[in-house]
Structure formats: structure tokens, C-alpha cells
């Protein structure tokens, strides 16, 4: 038995991406310039937004989005307990305190009915996280934010082109929507992130903060505090090329998910976590299982990598979080990712299903 190992995530870029980077370099476009501007325009347009700003990572996108909303030391930002830790580290970097709340029982997205339980006079923002393409209840969240004058910074890093039931893309309803261009995301430039917004004043502020407060390099004055979070043209070229052909990636992810849904129908040991909306896009194929570590070890022995869910944030000591998180804890114990990704072959998926069936 010498089957090739299957990794939990697979993405490829191919000749067109290589060509795009090579072209940028031949045109002497390396640092941030017109190619980046072109990518930002295309990204905003595709999401139906006025502005997009590309930065060095999804984490930086979240950080800048909060910073440009004046979130500062001592403020509180409401963050779901179940997410990637970047969602909490962004306010933490500003000296603000992430205040954690539990997720829903059936799916690992924030339980918005718990918002008023954690509201204090220090609360300044909410960060809904559309985890793995599953939409948070934005109507409730935005209504709550309006009532209490809070900023809404959407972490849509795992939800690019995933849609709410009203047809709108995730990340387009809050003050800002943040996306990641990391390797385990829909489109990637290795590292990178994007902030989208419809608020022009806020966009101008974000642009300044991204570049040391400098308006333009020929009429420089020191205007305001900022830092260097600029992107590069050759990376923009790579990711713009993927954006123009993103339908292929989306189609493949849907096919992978469908293959699992059909293949695991009736299998008891591994249950796919449901999606509520028909237009929600599963970036990853996530599932719950009893005795997760035993299952992961079994898959590993069969050359198949399954990744456990990241730990619940409240288990992170320095966040000093109180509260009760029974649903997040259950996902923490039982959740995992089956091999997926825009370049995961359907043959690999079939092999994963076959191996799972032998386990049950």
C-alpha cells in the first residue's frame, strides 16, 4: 500500500500566475503601484463595493480596520470564541480587550442573541466572523451596533464570495469587511489581505494609516500616525490573475463539497457540519466526529491528513476571558477539516471517503 499522502489543503497557481508575476517584473512593477490599484478596483467591483484596500495580511486588514475606527487601549471588541486567533489578536495589538461569546449550537458562527450579555460602556466594536463561508446574522448584529454606536468589522477571511440569503457577498454589510490572501484561502498571494468599505472618508483614513500618514510622496508632510502595510505589484499581479478566473476555483470547491456530501451520506462516525444558506461557500470541508484524535490517527496511518479545529479562544491564557462557551467547546473537541482546497483532486476526495467508510 503506497498511496501518495493527501494533505488537508491543496491550492495551485500554475503558469498564468507565474506569467502574471513575470510580466509585472518585466514592466519594472515590483513595489505597490498601478497593478495593485488595478487589483483593488477589480476586487471592489466584484464585491459590489466602492473601495478596496490591499494590505500585507488578513490579520493586518483586521488590525487597520479597527485602528482607523479609533479602537484603542481599554476598549472592548466583541469576538466569537470560535474563530482563528487573528480575530482576537487584532484588537489585542491595539491594547483593546477581545470579549468572547459562544457560537450557535448547530454551526460554529457567533450566537448574536448573546451580544447584550457582554455589552459594557467600554464596548466599541463587534467582529462577526463568517467562519468557513457560514454567514453570521448580520441583521441582528448591525441593528445592535447601530443602537449602541459600535463599529462592525467583518472578518470574512474564510468567506470570499460566499453569499448571504439576500444575495449579498459576506463582508459587505459592516463598516469594513476584511479578507485574507493567505495560502489556505480562496485566492492567494502567499501573504496578503484586503479591506473593503463603502465609506469614502473611512477609506481615505485607512489609506493614510497604511502608509505612515503620507498622502503622496512628492508633496510630503507628516499628517498623522501610520505605518507601512503596503502591498507589492508582483503579488497583486498573481492574485488579480486568480480573481479573473475565480469561478473555476469556486466551482471546484463546490464539487469537492458535493462529493463528500454524497459519499458520506449515511456514514455515522463523521458528520459534515451543516450550511444554512444555499449560496454559502464551504472553503473547507468541516465535520464533527467522536473520538477525534483516534480518527485523525487512523486517517494519518492511511496517508491522509485531517486537521483538527483550532482551539476555542477562551483557552488562550493571556486573553483572560471569562464566560461560558458550551457550543464552542463541543466544536473544539469534535471538529476537524477533511482534505479540501481548490486543487484537491476528486480522486483524492474519493480515496478519503473510501478510507472513512472502512473506519465506520
Ligand X SMILES: *Cc1c(COP(=O)(O)O)cnc(C)c1O
Measured from the CB atom, the residue of 84 and 144 that comes closer to ligand X is 84
For residue 101, the cross-strand partners are 80
Measured from the CB atom, the residue of 159 and 270 that comes closer to ligand X is 159
Chain residues 260-279 in contact with ligand X, contact rule CB under 6 A: none
Q: Which of 58, 128, 133, 135 binds ligand X (CB under 6 A)?
A: 58
What are 250's three cell numbers? 469556486
Q: What is the pattern of x (binds ligand X, CB under 6 A) and - over residues 186-215?
A: -------x----------------------
Is position 57 an interface residue for ligand X (rule: CB under 6 A)? yes
Minimum Å gap between C-beta 129 and ligand X is 5
Please tell me whether residue 301 adopts helix, strand or coil conformation: helix
Measured from the CB atom, the residue of 257 and 284 that comes closer to ligand X is 284
Distances (CA, A) of 254 to 140, 154, 261, 282: 28, 23, 10, 7
346-359 and 246-263 helices, crossing angle to 10°: 20
Is position 180 an interface residue for ligand X (rule: CB under 6 A)? yes
Chain residues 74-103 in contact with ligand X, contact rule CB under 6 A: 83-84, 86-87
DSSP run (H or E) holding 295? helix 292-301
What are 240's three cell numbers? 488579480
Span of 26-34, 51-59, 135-143, 168-176 interacting with ligand X by CB under 6 A? 51-59
Minimum Å gap between C-beta 304 and ligand X is 22
Distance separating alpha carbons of residues 51 and 45, to the nearest angstrom: 8
Minimum Å gap between C-beta 258 and ligand X is 23
Span of 57-65, 102-110, 111-119, 160-168 interacting with ligand X by CB under 6 A? 57-65
Measured from the CB atom, the residue of 92 and 295 that comes closer to ligand X is 92
Measured from the CB atom, the residue of 180 and 348 that comes closer to ligand X is 180
Chain residues 106-135 in contact with ligand X, contact rule CB under 6 A: 129
Residue nearest to ligand X (CB): 58
Minimum Å gap between C-beta 158 and ligand X is 4
Measured from the CB atom, the residue of 21 and 283 that comes closer to ligand X is 283
Chain residues 148-177 in contact with ligand X, contact rule CB under 6 A: 155, 157-158
DSSP 357: H
Rg (CA), the chain: 21
Is position 312 an interface residue for ligand X (rule: CB under 6 A)? no
58-67 and 200-210 helices, crossing angle to 10°: 120
Please tell me whether residue 97 adopts helix, strand or coil conformation: strand
Q: What is the pattern of x (binds ligand X, CB under 6 A) and - over residues 211-240?
A: ------------------------------
Q: Which residue has the cell 488579480?
A: 240
DSSP 282: -
DSSP run (H or E) holding 223? none
Q: Which of 20, 24, 44, 59 binds ligand X (CB under 6 A)?
A: 59
246-263 and 233-244 helices, crossing angle to 10°: 60
Measured from the CB atom, the residue of 171 and 226 that comes closer to ligand X is 171
Distance separating alpha carbons of residues 162 and 279, to the nearest angstrom: 6
Those residues with Cβ within 8 angstroms of residue 258's Cβ, 6 or more apart along the chain or in another chain: none
Measured from the CB atom, the residue of 189 and 327 that comes closer to ligand X is 189
Nearest to 271 by CA among 104, 106, 159: 106
Distance separating alpha carbons of residues 357 and 355, to the nearest angstrom: 5
Measured from the CB atom, the residue of 6 and 156 that comes closer to ligand X is 156
Interface with ligand X (CB under 6 A): 57-59, 83-84, 86-87, 129, 155, 157-158, 180, 182, 193
Amino acid at each position: 500500500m503506497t498511496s501518495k499522502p493527501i494533505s488537508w489543503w491543496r491550492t495551485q497557481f500554475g503558469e498564468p500566475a507565474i506569467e502574471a508575476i513575470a510580466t509585472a517584473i518585466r514592466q519594472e512593477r515590483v513595489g505597490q503601484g498601478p497593478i495593485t490599484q488595478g487589483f483593488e478596483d477589480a476586487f471592489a467591483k466584484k464585491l459590489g463595493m466602492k473601495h478596496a484596500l490591499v494590505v500585507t495580511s488578513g490579520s493586518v486588514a483586521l488590525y487597520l480596520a479597527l485602528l482607523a475606527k479609533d479602537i484603542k487601549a481599554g476598549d472592548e471588541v466583541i469576538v466569537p470564541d470560535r474563530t482563528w486567533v487573528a480575530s482576537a489578536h487584532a484588537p489585542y495589538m491595539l491594547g483593546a480587550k477581545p470579549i468572547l461569546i459562544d457560537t450557535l449550537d448547530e454551526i460554529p458562527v457567533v450566537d448574536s442573541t448573546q451580544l447584550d450579555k457582554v455589552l459594557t460602556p467600554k464596548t466599541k466594536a463587534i467582529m462577526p466572523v463568517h467562519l468557513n463561508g457560514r454567514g453570521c446574522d448580520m441583521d441582528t448584529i448591525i441593528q445592535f451596533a447601530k443602537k449602541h454606536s459600535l463599529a462592525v468589522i467583518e472578518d470574512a477571511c474564510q468567506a470570499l464570495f460566499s453569499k448571504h440569503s439576500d444575495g449579498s457577498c459576506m463582508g459587505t454589510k459592516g463598516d469594513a469587511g476584511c479578507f485574507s490572501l493567505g495560502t489556505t484561502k480562496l485566492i492567494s498571494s502567499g501573504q496578503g489581505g484586503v479591506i473593503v468599505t463603502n465609506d469614502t472618508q473611512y477609506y481615505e483614513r485607512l489609506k493614510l494609516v497604511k502608509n505612515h500618514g503620507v498622502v503622496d510622496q512628492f508633496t510630503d508632510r507628516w499628517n498623522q500616525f501610520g505605518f507601512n502595510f503596503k502591498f507589492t505589484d508582483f503579488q497583486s499581479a498573481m492574485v488579480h490573475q486568480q480573481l479573473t478566473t475565480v469561478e473555476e476555483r469556486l466551482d471546484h470547491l463546490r464539487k469537492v463539497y458535493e462529493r463528500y456530501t454524497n459519499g458520506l451520506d449515511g456514514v455515522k462516525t463523521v458528520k459534515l457540519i451543516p450550511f444554512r444558506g444555499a449560496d454559502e461557500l464551504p472553503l473547507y470541508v468541516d465535520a464533527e466526529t467522536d473520538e477525534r484524535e483516534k480518527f485523525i490517527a487512523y486517517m494519518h496511518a492511511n496517508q491522509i491528513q485531517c486537521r483538527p479545529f483550532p482551539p476555542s479562544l477562551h483557552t488562550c491564557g493571556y486573553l483572560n476571558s471569562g464566560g461560558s462557551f458550551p457550543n464552542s467547546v463541543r466544536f473544539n473537541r469534535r471538529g476537524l477539516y477533511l482534505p479540501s482546497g481548490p486543487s484537491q483532486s476528486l480522486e483524492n476526495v474519493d480515496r478519503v471517503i473510501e478510507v472513512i467508510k472502512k473506519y465506520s
